[in-house]
Amino acid sequence: MRLKLLLVDDEPLARARLRTLLADCKAPEASVEAEAANATQAIESLRRQKFDLALIDIHMPGADGLTLARTLRTLPEPPAVVFVTAHAEHAVRAFELEALDYLTKPVRLERLQAALQKAERLLAGRRAVEYEAAQEVLIVQQRGRTERVPLSEVLYLKAELKYVTLRTLTGSYLLEDSLSELEARYPGRLLRIHRNALVARRAVRALEKQHDALEGESWGLRLSGIDEVLLVSRRQLAAVRELLANPCF
C-alpha cells in the first residue's frame, strides 16, 4: 500500500525537511503528490486529486491549519490529517478535529514513521469497508428502468407514502424495500435517525439545532456532499451523538 501525501506548510524549508524524512521512512511507502504553501492552495490541490494523508502546519498566512482541517471534514472523501507544528498548545483542538496525529517541529523520524503507520492502518480499514460495501447493491426504479445502486453510494433512505426514496450524490431513486428490512439487512452500514429515515453511517458529518414546524425545536443531521438537513427524532438522538463521537471509517 502506498500513501499519497499532501504537504501544507508556508515554509519551503519545512516542506523540504519533511520530504527528506519521508524518504528515510522504511514503511509504509509514501509519496508526496503535491505541496501547498497555504490553505487556498491545499483546497485547489484537493479539487484536482485525492490524497490519503495531509501533513498540515497550523500557523500559516490566511486561514490556519485548524481552519483548513475543519474544511476538509466537509469533503465526501477527506484525507486523514496529521498536524506538523512548532506549537504544542493546539494539540487539544487538533484532536477535537479528529487529527490522526500531532507532530511538533523539529519532527523526529520515528514519530513521523509512527504517524504514517497509523495512516496506513486507517486506510486499510477504509478500503476493507469500501470493498465489502461495493459487493452489496440495492435494486431501484428510475423512470421505468430497474437499476443497481451500490450500497457504498447511498447517503440516506427515506420512507414516503408506499415507497422509499434512496438518495446518492448524483440523484434520487425509488425502491420497494421497507426501512425496517434495510435496517435489519445492513446494521453496520445504516443508522436509524427517525421513524421514516435511515442514513449511511460513513456519510454522517454534523448535528445541529433547528426549528421544525411540527415538532418545534429539534435536531437536524448534515451528510457529506449534500445541503439537505434531515430531521433526527429525540428517540434516536443519542445514537447519532454516539456515532459522531466515535466515527467509523
Number of domains in the chain: 2
User: Same domain, yes or no, for 13 and 107?
Assistant: yes
Distance of CA 150 to the CA centre of its chain: 18
pTM of the full structure: 0.57
Domain boundary among 78, 100, 133: 133
User: Same domain, yes or no, for 115 and 186?
Assistant: no
Give the angle subtended at the CA of 196 by the CAs of 240 and 172, to the nearest 5°.
Answer: 95
Residue bearing the bigger pLDDT, 206 or 95: 206
Residue 249 has pLDDT above 60, yes or no: no
Q: What is the pLDDT of residues 41-92, one digit of tens each?
A: 999 999 999 999 999 999 999 999 999 999 998 888 899 999 999 888 887 7
User: Same domain, yes or no, for 108 and 150?
Assistant: no
User: Same domain, yes or no, for 104 and 9?
Assistant: yes
User: Same domain, yes or no, for 181 and 241?
Assistant: yes
Neighbour count for residue 246 (Cβ, 10 Å)? 7
Identify the pLDDT of residue 188: 87
Identify the pLDDT of residue 32: 97
What cell was used for 183? Answer: 435496517
What cell was used for 130? Answer: 469500501
Q: What is the pLDDT of residues 94-109, one digit of tens each?
A: 788 889 999 999 999 9
